[in-house]
Amino acid sequence: MFARLRKHKLNCLLGSPIPLERVLVTGASGFIGSFVTKQLLRRGIYTAVLQRDETVGARLSDIKDQLTIIKHDTRNSASFHEALTAFKPQTVIHLGWAGVGNFDRNSLRTQISNLEFAHELIEATRAAGAQHWIGAGSQAEYGPKNHAISEKDPTDPTTLYGASKLAAYHLTKTHCSLLGLRHSWLRIFSTYGPGDNEHWMIPSLIKQLLQGHEPSLTAGEQLWDYLHVEDAACAFIAVAEGQVEGVFNLGSGEAHSLRHTIEQIRDLINPNAKLGFGKLPYRPDQVMRLQADVRLLTKAAVWKPLITIKEGLRDTVEWFSKQYVNQPTKP
C-alpha cells in the first residue's frame, strides 16, 4: 500500500474532537461497514457488530476476536436487545440494508423490512443508552441530476430503493427527535476500494482485464464521483466523534469521466489491453452525471477526502490482483 494511504490511515486516527468509547455497527460484514469497524478498532474503541449468527463474514475474519458479536435472530425481533443493553453503546452506525443490488432495488417487501428494522434498532439502542444514531443514506434519494448535487437539491427518487432510503431518513430523524437521540444521515454516492463487491464496475473490470478479456462497455462519457472506502469510513467516524447532526452528502466532490477512470485501470494492468467502448448502449434511464457537493460535510466535521482517484485505483488494482491471481481463466 502506498505511503499516502498509510499516512491517510494515520490521519484518520488523529484529532478526535469527542472521544468515542463504545460503538455498535450494523452491516459490519459489508464493504463500507468492514472499513468503519476496522477504523474503530484502530482507535481503541470498543466495537460491537450485529450479526445474523455468531460468525462474521470474510471481510472481518482477521479481527473477529477483537469484536463483541451480538447475534440477531431475524425470526425473533427482540433477540438482540438483551446483549445490546449489556454492551451499552454510546453511538450506533447503521450500515445494514438489504436489497442494495440491482435485482432487489425494486422489491417492495425487502425495502419495507429495512424501514421496520431501522425503527426497531432505534428503540433498542435508545433503551440501551445510546446518544447518537448515524444512518447510511444514498444518492438514489435525489434521483438523476445533471450537476453536482448539494443537500439543498430536491429529492426525487426513481427506484423503490431510493424512495425507501428517503423515507428512512425522514422517519428515523423524527423517531430520534422524539426519543432525544442525535441523528445524522450520510448520503453515500459511489465508493470503491479493496474488498468491494466483485460484481460492481471497478472490480468486474479489473477481473476481466487480468484474465485477458476485452470488456464490453458504454462510451464512458458519464461523469462519476468515486470515493475511496477508507475516506468513506473515516467520514462516518468523524461525524460520530464530532457529534455532528444533519444530512450530508458523502463523496469525493470530484467527477471524472468513466472512460478516463477505466483507462487508468487498464494502464495499471496492461496498457496494451483493448477496451470495448461503445459496445454497450446507454440504458434508457442512464445517469450521465453523479457528483456530490461535500462542502457541508467538510465544514461540519473534521474530515476531507485524502486519497486521490489515481492512488486509490492503484491500491484497488493491487488488492484485487492478489485475489484473482490463482483463479482460473474463463473463456
**How much is the pLDDT for 108?**
82
Q: What is the pLDDT of residues 87-125, one digit of tens each?
A: 999 999 999 998 776 666 677 888 899 999 999 999 999
Annotate 162-180 with DSSP letters as a single string: HHHHHHHHHHHHHHHHHHT
pTM for this model (two decimals): 0.92
Contacts of 103 (CB under 8 A, 6+ apart): none
Residue pair 115/121 in contact (Cβ under 8 Å)? The answer is no
**How much is the pLDDT for 78?**
75
**pLDDT over 90, % of the chain:** 80
Q: How confident is the model at residue 8 (pLDDT cuts 50, 70, 90)?
A: low
Distances (CA, A) of 234 to 101, 214, 266: 24, 35, 28
Fold of 17-193+228-254+292-307: Rossmann fold (3.40.50)
Sign of CA dihedral 188, 32, 26, 103: positive
Torsion of CA 205, 211, 212, 216, to 10 degrees: -30
**Angle (nearest 5°) at CA 251 between 164 and 117:** 25
Q: How confident is the model at residue 158 (pLDDT cuts 50, 70, 90)?
A: very high
Break the chain into its structural domains and give their ranges: 17-193+228-254+292-307
Residue pair 17/47 in contact (Cβ under 8 Å)? The answer is no
Question: What average pLDDT does this structure show over 32-39?
Answer: 97
**CA–centroid distance for 178 within its chain:** 27
Gap between the Cα atoms of 55 and 58, Å rounded: 10
Residue pair 200/31 in contact (Cβ under 8 Å)? The answer is no
**How much is the pLDDT for 110?**
86
Residue pair 104/83 in contact (Cβ under 8 Å)? The answer is no
Q: How confident is the model at residue 14 (pLDDT cuts 50, 70, 90)?
A: very low
CB-neighbour burial class of residue 28 (10 A; exposed 0-12, middle 13-18, buried 19+): buried
Distances (CA, A) of 54 to 17, 59, 70, 73, 274: 33, 15, 7, 10, 45
